[in-house]
Structure 1
């Protein structure tokens, strides 16, 4: 037996080294070939060698071709050659007899695999099985029979129907090969292997054990569309990109178990989020921790994950003015911009491009003498009688006002014109509006932008003196000039309210046609 195991191991290692890199027989590769070394042990009329290790072992060989049917069943063709010999021992009826037989077996068998998923997995390392294989035994024997003092030599051959039953274990050495050991008994029906003429009544007195050890490899190539090494039948992730490492199910490896395969995972050693390419985000602000400058405080992606409570684009840690109103432009420290540096932030500064005190809303304060010119300008504006035409005496005053507007480009000017109560009310209202517009037109002609001057006429509705006297009426016929800052109301409207709507002028009457006198009638002649 020791010699058998040594020889079988040597044969197995030799075949393993020469085996191609194929998968063991499975549903993907259904055909397999097995090569084995074997020895036979006889039992018959001469005696029994069963499990007797003292006999001279005769080595034989075998080859099998099998086909996968199900996870628990294979169909195989088994071809084996072996040799038995026996010398009748002293005390036996055939003492002095001996024989040697060469036996060839051809059996078609069913293998019941116990690694069918019920007790053991199909890819288990140890894979026990049972084999039942009917077939034929071709026996050629020669020897000498000595019975009752009569010695007779014999030499003959015959073919018998054979029933072979065996049990074995396959060892799944790798995905490429399997080694197996097997022991079973052959029952060649009516066989007379030892050629003894004295037979048992059942004629199954001659039989033999077969002990085998060998190597099984699979043939063919499994279907593997994405070439990831996992057959399409078992591949739970078909279509894996070329070169991507996969697990036993054909799915890309995911070392950190976050559901993002390693080949797509930017952080393959840390559990993360699919939305962040497998990287973690412990504060949940959508910025991966490796790029988050404030990884423990939710923030904004544009600020590298840091918070900005007032939304001014400066992180809270760097914001020196943390409560800036929404939409206000700020500097690098988070404070509102102050372009003119006057201490009034631009969003509150009526004159953001020129410095001025906060008391004047960030605008330059007008000098006292210029304010005085505005107040006294009304005294020097005169028009032709009952017209809106400016008298030349008014020009120096208006030019002075133009200069003030040029010196203070952020200010606007309101012009309001008034009349006394003499004449028609509607006429007086139109005339006052035209006179205010005339003063405005003059100043626009000197280069002042149209959107900086507003003019209105109030007619006789806002007197400041008694219209019962000539001096009072002269005061009431006036043009006032008021400056104001952007965003402020027109001072005239503050003082007098919204200007009245100007009525349309009455149409001029058509000139009367001259009346022709009828010619004088001549007196009728007297009758004589």
Structure 2
């Protein structure tokens, strides 16, 4: 009997050693070991000790439990006890019982009725297994020593009390029915297989191993972390989110004004005049102003903040000095001073007449601005286009103050990137045609528009043909910068 008991204990040790350490018996910690003590109560041919606490036999137990889901655990439980019975000197038994059960634990703290991390966690246990009996005794003076093994049907109910994330105290009561077992050795048996059985009342502790997964290392398990990607070292609240002590939606580690409720687009700083400049940088914090003027207003839009403007009513567009007063200048740099310039806003570099207004391209020359078309995926200029191009060459040679903008286009076939490159190559092919005929390359400006500016919807071959083109625009060579 002792040799068999030793073998079972060695088997228990090997089983425990083979179980990998997990993250504990919960969604965070999935493996636990239980240590327990039990009171056993026999029922058989010698009578029933069920619920008779004065007749208890006591024994230790150990188990390994593995979390499967929020409502189900799997466990291997082993226990030992010596059951005893004595009617008289001729009728007695001492039976060593070793039982091993593979347990399915149905947990009521599955998140539906009771929270998974509740303090009180009731459960039901269904645990088939094997029971080994090693009996010494006598019945009516005859020796009944025997060693047997039986299938054990075991069911129980219990409550686990959660003491911490890794430790729980449990109490449990259940009944073992080792089929066809003869615990007391009485040869006169009942007709069924259940006449000898025993209750097991258990108190024990579950010890979980490992620690919960915490990807961002903020001390809050991933399962509970509402901000699982918090940067390393950032202080967090119980939900794992960065602290935001002024509650403005900008976490403290990104908040330049962590003690003042502010705006996200201003890095958590306030802006009481709502002009887009944080109060700490705003030279006029109570008056809406311009960002480029440090938050101060500029009523006449001359670029000088009102507090510094000595001429606050300067007409729009007037150039001013540092004090906001007008300058007598040529604001469009066309060589005609503003007082004589009828077109003071002429674009930079435009050729102008004596009044300072842009020169206009001759209508007859404008009439030559007809597009040149290309075949699909081609940059080859059709010979039919040469006459029109040669007329433009003559204009450029005869009127050296003209320049020509050449803009390439493509239809919608192909990717945006490819069509952009194709349109640029078409424009460059036309540019080379002009330069090969003696036109200064600096007077030919090229650009590509890809498929972004179709001449017609790309819904038919004819329309696509119209979109495979190069367009022209005559302009004047920019005037040299005036010498002031």
TM bin, normalised by shorter chain, reads 0.5 to 0.7
- Tell me the SS of whatever aligns to 1:191: coil
Deviation at 1:81, TM superposition (A): 1.6
String of CA shifts for 1:271-320, please: whole Å, max 9, x gaps: 4322122234344222334555665543444665455545565566x988
Partner of 1:110: 104
Quickly say closer, same or farther: Cα 1:165–1:325, change in 2 above 3 A.
Answer: same
- Tell me the SS of whatever aligns to 1:54: helix
Partner of 2:40: 40
**Distance between the aligned counterparts of 1:151 and 1:348, measured in 2?**
133
Partner of 1:207: 197
- Tell me the SS of whatever aligns to 1:272: coil
Partner of 1:167: 157
Deviation at 1:135, TM superposition (A): 0.4
**In the TM superposition, what are the counterparts of 1:237-386 in structure 2 within 5 Å?**
237-246=227-236, 250-289=240-279, 297-301=287-291, 305=295, 307=297, 309-310=299-300, 313-314=304-305, 323=313, 328-329=320-321, 347=326
Contact map agreement 1:303 1:315 (CA 8 A) in 2: no
**Distance between the aligned counterparts of 1:79 and 1:245, measured in 2?**
45
Partner of 1:62: 61
TM-score, reference length from structure 2: 0.53
**Distance between the aligned counterparts of 2:252 and 2:25, measured in 1?**
31
TM-score, reference length from structure 1: 0.49
Quickly say closer, same or farther: Cα 1:281–1:191, change in 2 above 3 A.
Answer: farther
Partner of 1:137: 131
Task: State which drifts further: 58-67 or 180-189.
Answer: 58-67
String of CA shifts for 1:121-141, please: whole Å, max 9, x gaps: 333333222110100111223
Partner of 1:53: 53
Partner of 1:122: 116
Contact map agreement 1:22 1:217 (CA 8 A) in 2: no
**Distance between the aligned counterparts of 1:245 and 1:45, measured in 2?**
68
Deviation at 1:248, TM superposition (A): 6.2
Gaps of 5+ in 2: 1-20, 330-484
Partner of 1:513: none
String of CA shifts for 1:248-273, please: whole Å, max 9, x gaps: 66543445554333322334455432
Quickly say closer, same or farther: Cα 1:347–1:306, change in 2 above 3 A.
Answer: closer
**Distance between the aligned counterparts of 2:326 and 2:40, measured in 1?**
107
Deviation at 1:83, TM superposition (A): 3.1
Quickly say closer, same or farther: Cα 1:72–1:99, change in 2 above 3 A.
Answer: same
Deviation at 1:68, TM superposition (A): 2.6
**Distance between the aligned counterparts of 1:269 and 1:144, measured in 2?**
85
String of CA shifts for 1:334-387, please: whole Å, max 9, x gaps: xx6xxxxxxxxx63999xxxxxxxxxxxxxxxxxxxxxxxxxxxxxxxxxxxxx
Deviation at 1:207, TM superposition (A): 1.6
Task: State which drifts further: 30-39 or 234-243.
Answer: 234-243
- Tell me the SS of whatever aligns to 2:73: strand
Task: State which drifts further: 290-299 or 128-137.
Answer: 290-299
**Distance between the aligned counterparts of 1:126 and 1:195, measured in 2?**
42
Contact map agreement 1:23 1:217 (CA 8 A) in 2: no
String of CA shifts for 1:1-36, please: whole Å, max 9, x gaps: xxxxxxxxxxxxxxxxxxxx9853234554332222
Quickly say closer, same or farther: Cα 1:47–1:254, change in 2 above 3 A.
Answer: farther
Gaps of 5+ in 1: 1-20, 89-93, 337-345, 351-528
**Distance between the aligned counterparts of 1:173 and 1:219, measured in 2?**
15
**Distance between the aligned counterparts of 1:279 and 1:123, measured in 2?**
40
Quickly say closer, same or farther: Cα 1:245–1:173, change in 2 above 3 A.
Answer: farther
Partner of 1:179: 169
Asked if 1:196 corresponds to 2:196, the answer is no
Q: How many pairs align? A: 306
Quickly say closer, same or farther: Cα 1:196–1:226, change in 2 above 3 A.
Answer: same
Quickly say closer, same or farther: Cα 1:168–1:267, change in 2 above 3 A.
Answer: farther
Partner of 2:216: 226
Quickly say closer, same or farther: Cα 1:54–1:319, change in 2 above 3 A.
Answer: farther
**Distance between the aligned counterparts of 2:283 and 2:49, measured in 1?**
84
